[in-house]
Amino acid sequence: MLDPISLSLPGTHDILRAELPNGIVVLARENFAAESVVLTGSLESGSIFEPLEQSGLAGFTASSLMRGTRAYDFDAMYETLENMAARLAVSGNTFSTVFSAKSLAEDLPTLLQLTAETLLHPVFPVDQTERLRGELMNSLKIAAQSTRAVSSDLMRQQLYSPDHPYYAVSALEQIETLKKLTLNDLKAFHARHYGPRGMIVVVVGAVKAEEAVKLVEDTFGGWSNPDQPALPAIPEASPLSEIRREAAVLPGKTQVDISMGWLGPRRTDPDYQAVVMANSILGAFGMMGRLGAAVREREGFAYYAASRYSTAKAQGPWSAITGVNPKNAEEAIRLIVGEIERITTEPVSESELADNKANFTGSLPLALESNEGVAGTIHSMENYRLGLDYLYRYRDLIEAITVEDVLKAVQHYLNPRAFALGIAGPEVVG
């Protein structure tokens, strides 16, 4: 029998999971505290499917979907959403096209119909698609002048080979590929890669779970795409055995941004939780953890100093980042390397670990306060095959992490003498 704390969390006792005959997985959870409903989902149609010479194709396609469909032109689509006080958004990432929507519960059938129109029947109108191309190119031009974005791209270019989905094509390179993409390229990508296999749909809010599943089935149950390919195998990345350093000069800037990267775990790897805990200690907790204390607070060098690791199906980058005055760049790098050396040779303290554990478990209820938070969490549980009882086990998973687990994790992934280093600023550094 579940305890009262577990019963307050989304899980097997109140999430209805159904798999439709065409492969779509639907998950629904009731919440009648408000009269709204949230829709969150994904399709397996991300940039992992695009060739390097067509970089940006998947994202361009995803962003074009709401520019016009078989039944709605651009104005009609947004007017319909506005009249319902609803929202719908679609975007692309490495592995997926993701969508999110919200409306009053009474408008859920219309919201689902709009979502289906967007995903199944885009027409890629010339005027709207070309306008979007211009917007995307402007964004890339801005990124090409961002020291932070450029340093991150340089780091990933050193960390991964060009056939890896996390390899970074520079903003300037992507501008050139984006220019060459045609409407037929977008239509072909959509026709080939959009389909129900691997699709996840989550509905949370003021609707009966059985009714939500039926509405999704009525809307998407007839969708098929026999040519839809499965996700390709992800190339295995090998840890670096040396420091690989690349710098870019961006004239007119006043700040140098530094990005140092190592290969991290997959979300499904057994040491994932220990890595996330180690990352919090290293550069996330409080005022950006140990890195913030060393580089920003103690020495006053950095505008920011932190570490980050994002949940990933592949070996995502585990990075340390900072932005400093150019004259302090080399010293900031030295300080970060010193903190990597310290965390990989000296066990973290029990009190430090306890504080971070309390932060992890204490922040969970905050993440589940809204229907959006609940829907996103349920989607993650399904996407990474964590099980619908994951949140029941979460506190125990966190509390079970030991000082030895953290040390073993950082020693496995972080090497102070071998990493990818990207630097971008107003002058050559080093």
Q: Does pLDDT of 272 surpass 70?
A: yes
Sheet-wide strand order for 302-309: 244-249, 420-425, 256-263, 317-324, 302-309
Q: Are 199 and 39 in contact (CB under 8 A)?
A: no
Q: In terms of Cα–Cα distance, which of 265, 196, 199 is closest to 405?
A: 265
Give the burial string for 132-144 (b: 16+ CB within 10 Å, else e): bbeebbeebeebb
The pLDDT tens digits of the residues spanning 44-66 come to 999 999 999 999 999 999 999 99
Which pLDDT band holds residue 428 (cuts at 50, 70, 90)? low
Mean pLDDT of 247-276: 95
Instruction: Give the per-residue pLDDT at 113.
Output: 98
State the helix-helix crossing angle for 74-83 and 108-120, rounded to 10 degrees.
160
Which pLDDT band holds residue 298 (cuts at 50, 70, 90)? confident
Mean pLDDT of 211-218: 98
Tokens of 10: 């989304």
Which pLDDT band holds residue 380 (cuts at 50, 70, 90)? very high
Residue 276 burial (CB count, 10 A): 21
Mean pLDDT of 237-263: 96
Residue 347 burial (CB count, 10 A): 14
Mean pLDDT of 115-143: 97
**Distance between CA 96 and CA 331 in Å, rounded?**
39
Q: Does pLDDT of 220 surpass 90?
A: yes
Q: What is the CATH architecture assignment of 244-425?
A: 2-Layer Sandwich (3.30)
CATH of domain 7-220: 3.30.830.10
Tokens of 215: 């509405």
Residue % of the chain over a pLDDT of 70: 98
Which pLDDT band holds residue 285 (cuts at 50, 70, 90)? confident
Task: Please tell me what DSSP assigns to residue 421.
Answer: E
Residue 184 burial (CB count, 10 A): 9
Q: Does pLDDT of 430 surpass 60?
A: no
Instruction: Give the per-residue pLDDT at 287.
Output: 79
Q: Are 422 and 240 in contact (CB under 8 A)?
A: no
Q: Does pLDDT of 268 surpass 70?
A: yes
Q: Which part of the chain is CATH 3.30.830.10?
A: 7-220, 244-425
Residue 300 burial (CB count, 10 A): 9
Q: What is the mean pLDDT of the chain?
A: 95
Instruction: Give the per-residue pLDDT at 1.
Output: 61
CA 296-297-303 angle, to 5 degrees, is 30
Q: In terms of Cα–Cα distance, which of 21, 29, 1, 421 is closest to 208?
A: 29
The pLDDT tens digits of the residues spanning 67-120 come to 999 999 999 999 999 999 999 999 999 999 999 999 999 999 999 999 999 999
Instruction: Give the per-residue pLDDT at 145.
Output: 96
